Amino acid sequence: MALRADDLIDRRRLRRKLTFWRVVAIGIVALGVIALSTWFYGDDFGGSTVDHIAKVKIEGTITEDEELIKRLETIRLSSKVKGVILSIDSPGGTTVGGESIYEEVRKLAADKPVVAEVGTLAASAGYMIASAADHIVARKTSIVGSIGVLIQYPDVSGLMDKLGVKLEEVKSSPLKAAPSPFKPTNDDERAMVRKLILDSYNWFVDIVAERRKMTREQALALADGSIFTGRQGVA
């Protein structure tokens, strides 16, 4: 049966009304989500609307971590965060990664109380970051320390000889691209790497001495790469 013109007009009007109310309903839901987010997260850099203590986990191998740096900065700028717990469980990582997080924690500690909570392990760069806090809390059997710097590289020259592979190179200077895994290191190359390691090591020792309120001699006595239990660390 054919529809009359009036019926078509009525249907179109009904569709327009339904579309209008659907848009209104979606808008109300969106406003509700925004209001709920504001209630939970507030409007000051993602913080809660109530005063609280923030807890940040630092786990695994430490590298340059822009997301973590940004999170620490957000916490520092939040007026609702009154203190911070750094939960650390890390065997260490890169010196640059440890340095960048250490510096951000020091900025944070200048504005808010910061405590490092050691889980199973806070060694090397993990201990460096813990040292940036105002206090370090560890279990009796937690592992801390390993103050030092390490560079490792393989020597596959023996394997190349067995396979009959020979490396040829042309360099601008003797220490360019050294050390190389394709040939044994010589005295000059080892001396260059050692200078690099000692520079970073001295910086690490100075951090420990400053943050743990020791003399440099006291820090050096502990900075032989040794690891300690939490009980030994207190002593």
The catalytic site residues sit at 124, 176
- Looking at the DSSP assignment, which residues form a beta bridge with residue 136? 116
Calculated CA dihedral for residues 149, 90, 93, 112, nearest 10 degrees = -90
> CA distances (Å), 25 to each of 12, 13, 15, 17, 35, in order?
20, 18, 15, 12, 15
Q: Residue 179, preceding bond cis, omega within 30 degrees?
A: yes
Read off the tokens for 114.
Answer: 């910061």
> CA distances (Å), 153 to each of 39, 110, 182, 184, in order?
52, 39, 10, 10
Strands 227-229, 135-138: pairing kind: unpaired
Single-letter code of the amino acid located at 225 = G
